[in-house]
């Protein structure tokens, strides 16, 4: 049997070096243990699944890593051409997942800190009756209702807003509306047919049904009239999203509509679920429930909300619009000659600028008065601190007190009684 070829001899000039190295290694094996064990433990510590909230944002401020943000019709952000916005879960093609581990900054949810739909203009038509109008017997009511606080929420995050309608009501600048007192749902539908075609809003806010309850109009078939209104809005303005809302509670005793409200609201909720199943751009704003409008938020007539109730309505409407954006429903409004993206821009006449100057003067005066009051408080606090320091400096120390006592005892020795 042939012998296996021998390995080449290790160079002699390296043998001594190698032997010395191995000797050092064996002599320092305890040191190696102390070096490698911590490294192994660190490796085990950082092995495993990292929770989603622990990954840093890697594709820009306000966007979450691992989520694809698809805007419009696939063109550059801001160009919609009839498209909407959708947020698709999954791996992002806009950035690679990070391989480093660190705590992320607080995540900004699109729709609260960021503009809806990349800053899409919202042309809003509020459809309804007296509650939509902002009517209330509460003293000082301004008939802006939920529209002003809702508009402020939307513009604050960066969306241009223009309320549209055939009427103007309230002391807000952009005060267009489509609402009439005392009208039931089928009459709201009638008015919508006249107002929608020439304005083509991309967002409807519908609050209808209270007068059906007060007038006791075929409550069992209410949903059919309501559905006809919603479908008309979607057909007459194809780029629109519809926010439907439950109607408010009532404790009015004249018309006895409370029990009817509890029969109507379930129909509205069921319709919202049906629209969701059908994929229609309709979202429910739930105005009742634990965090909705309560009996205590209804004004003295037992039918209309007060200022706090309208603020709650605005919050619920805003949340529903955010949900519509999250579902990818929002689309840019159809261009209409004479209708601007910003409703305030349409009203900038002499009266507007006069009001603006008056408002600015009032704000400046308020700021000046507030600053003067703060300066007064700071001056008084400074005097108080100075007085405290002076009092502290006047206090004798403990040693001085004992020394003074001994001097007094030396000068006036106590008499002893024998």
Q: What is the pLDDT of residue 20?
A: 52
pLDDT > 60? residue 57 = no
d(CA 240, CA 124): 9
pLDDT > 80? residue 179 = yes
Q: What is the pLDDT of residue 293?
A: 77
**What is the sign of the dihedral through the CA atoms of 214, 217, 221 and 226?**
negative
Q: Burial code of 358-368, b = ≥16 C-beta within 10 A, e = fewer?
A: eeeeeeeeeee
The whole-number average pLDDT for the span 271-290 is 94
Q: What is the pLDDT of residue 394?
A: 86
The whole-number average pLDDT for the span 181-201 is 97
Q: What is the pLDDT of residue 4?
A: 45
Tens digits of residue pLDDT in 302-327: 889 888 899 999 999 999 999 999 99
Which DSSP state fits 181?
Answer: T
Name, in order, each residue with C-beta under 8 angstroms of 404's C-beta and a sequence gap of 6 or more.
396
Q: What is the pLDDT of residue 118?
A: 87
Q: Could you tell me the pLDDT band of residue 406, with boundaries at 50, 70 and 90? A: low
The whole-number average pLDDT for the span 57-74 is 32
Q: What is the pLDDT of residue 299?
A: 80
Residue 186: strand, helix, or coil: helix
Burial class (CB in 10 A: 0-12, 13-18, 19+), 244: buried
d(CA 203, CA 321): 9
d(CA 162, CA 78): 18
Domains in the chain, start-ordered, CATH in brackets? 116-339 (3.40.50.1110)
Q: What is the pLDDT of residue 125?
A: 98
pLDDT > 60? residue 403 = no
Give φ, ψ of 217 to 5 degrees: -95, 100
**Contact 137/301 with Cβ under 8 angstroms?**
yes
Q: What is the pLDDT of residue 46?
A: 39
What is the H or E stretch that residue 176 is in? Answer: strand 176-179
Which residues on adjacent β-strands are paired with residue 162?
Answer: 123
Instruction: Tell me how far CA of residue 241 lies from CA of 147, 244, 395, in angstroms.
Output: 17, 10, 76
Share of the chain above pLDDT 90, in %: 51
**Cα first-last separation, the chain:** 133
Name, in order, each residue with C-beta under 8 angstroms of 173's C-beta and a sequence gap of 6 or more.
343, 344, 347, 352, 355
Q: Could you tell me the pLDDT band of residue 409, with boundaries at 50, 70 and 90? A: low
Q: Could you tell me the pLDDT band of residue 106, with boundaries at 50, 70 and 90? A: very low
Q: Could you tell me the pLDDT band of residue 183, with boundaries at 50, 70 and 90? A: very high
d(CA 122, CA 158): 11
**What is the sign of the dihedral through the CA atoms of 217, 220, 226 and 228?**
negative
Share of the chain above pLDDT 70, in %: 67
The whole-number average pLDDT for the span 222-242 is 98
pLDDT > 70? residue 1 = no
pLDDT > 60? residue 220 = yes
pTM of the predicted structure, to 2 decimals:
0.60
The whole-number average pLDDT for the span 370-393 is 92
d(CA 336, CA 332): 12
The whole-number average pLDDT for the span 103-111 is 46
Q: What is the pLDDT of residue 359?
A: 82
Q: How many CB atoms lie within 10 A of CB 45?
A: 8
The whole-number average pLDDT for the span 251-265 is 89
pLDDT > 70? residue 40 = no
Among 82-96, 189-203, 209-223, 344-358, the minimum mean pLDDT is found in 82-96
**Contact 164/333 with Cβ under 8 angstroms?**
no
The whole-number average pLDDT for the span 32-47 is 45
């Amino acid at each position: 049997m042939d012998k296996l070829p021998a390995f080449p001899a290790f160079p002699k000039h390296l043998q001594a070096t190698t032997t010395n190295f191995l000797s050092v290694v064996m002599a320092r094996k305890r040191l190696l243990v102390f070096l490698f064990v911590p490294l192994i433990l660190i490796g085990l510590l950082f092995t495993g699944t990292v929770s989603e909230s622990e990954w840093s944002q890697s594709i820009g401020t306000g966007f979450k890593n691992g989520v694809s943000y698809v805007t419009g019709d696939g063109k550059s952000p801001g160009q919609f051409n009839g498209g909407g916005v959708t947020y698709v879960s999954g791996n992002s093609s806009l950035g690679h997942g990070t391989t480093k581990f660190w705590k992320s900054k607080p995540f900004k949810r699109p729709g609260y800190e960021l503009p809806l739909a990349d800053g899409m203009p919202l042309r809003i038509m509020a459809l309804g009756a007296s509650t939509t109008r902002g009517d209330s017997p509460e003293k000082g009511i301004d008939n802006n209702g939920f529209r002003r606080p809702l508009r402020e929420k939307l513009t604050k995050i960066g969306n241009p807003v223009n309320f549209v309608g055939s009427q103007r009501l309230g002391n807000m600048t952009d005060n267009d509306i489509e609402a009439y007192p005392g009208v039931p749902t089928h009459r709201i539908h009638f008015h919508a047919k006249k107002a929608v075609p020439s304005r083509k809003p991309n967002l409807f806010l519908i609050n209808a049904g209270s007068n059906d309850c007060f007038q006791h109009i075929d409550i069992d078939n209410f949903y059919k009239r309501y559905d006809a209104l919603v479908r008309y809005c979607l057909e007459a303005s194809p780029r629109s999203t519809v926010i439907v809302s439950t109607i408010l509670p009532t404790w009015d005793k004249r018309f006895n509509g409370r029990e009817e409200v509890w029969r109507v609201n379930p129909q509205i909720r069921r319709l919202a679920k049906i629209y969701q199943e059908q994929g229609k751009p309709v979202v429910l704003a739930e105005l009742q429930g634990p965090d909705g409008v309560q009996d205590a938020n209804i004004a003295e007539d037992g039918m209309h909300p007060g200022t706090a109730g309208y603020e709650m309505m605005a919050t619920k409407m805003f949340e529903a619009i955010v949900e519509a954006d999250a579902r990818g429903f929002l689309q840019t409004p159809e261009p209409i000659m004479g209708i601007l993206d910003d409703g305030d821009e349409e009203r900038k006449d002499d009266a507007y600028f006069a009001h603006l100057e008056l408002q600015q003067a009032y704000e400046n005066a308020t700021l000046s008065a507030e600053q003067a009051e703060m300066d007064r408080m700071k001056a008084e606090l400074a005097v108080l601190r100075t007085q405290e320091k002076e009092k502290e400096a006047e206090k004798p120390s403990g040693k001085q007190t004992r020394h003074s006592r001994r001097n007094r005892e030396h000068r006036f020795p106590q008499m002893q009684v024998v």
